[in-house]
Amino acid sequence: MSKAQIIILVGIPTAGKSTWAYERYWNITESCYLLSRDRIREQLFGKKYHQNKHDEEIVTKRFYQILNIQLQICDTVILDNTHCHEKYITEIVDKYPNNPIEVKFFDLPLYEAYFRNVKRYLLEGKWIPFKVIKSMHKNYLKINQNKYE
C-alpha cells in the first residue's frame, strides 16, 4: 500500500462534512480523491435505494475496492461519510496502519442540524428524518474524539 493520507470526516448529516470536503478537494495541489458511500449508493442503486443489510454489504465491498485503488494513485483520500459509530473509524484505522490518518470531527448542535435539514429540503428537496439525525447525534456524542488526536 502507498503512504497516501486518509482523512476521515465524522459528523451527523448537515454538519458540513461534504462542504468542507469539496472545498478541500478543489483547493489542494496534491492529487486527491473524495470517496462517499452516499455517492456509491446512488451509483449502484439510484434514487430508489432503501437501506438493508444485503445492499450495504455491496456498498461496503465497493467502498473498499475504490479506496484501495485510490490509495495507490492519490496523495490524499477524503472519506466523506458520517462515521457516527466509533467502530467505523477504528475499522479504517486498523485496516490501514501504514497510512497517515487524520480524523476530522464536525460538531453541530442538534437544533442546528434540524434547521439545516429543513433548509436543505426547501432548497434541494433532500430530507433526512429527524429521528435518524437524532440517533446519529446520540452516537456521535459517544465517540472518544481524544483517541484520534
pLDDT digits (tens, 9 = 90+) for 39-80: 999 899 887 777 789 988 999 999 999 999 999 999 999 999
Work out whether the CA dihedral 71, 76, 81, 86 comes out positive or negative. positive
Strand (E) or helix (H) holding 102: strand 101-105
Range of the domain at 28: 5-148
Number of domains in the chain: 1
Q: What's the pLDDT at 29?
A: 65
Task: Point out the residues of the chain with pLDDT beneath 50.
Answer: 1
CATH number for position 39: 3.40.50.300
Q: What's the pLDDT at 2?
A: 64
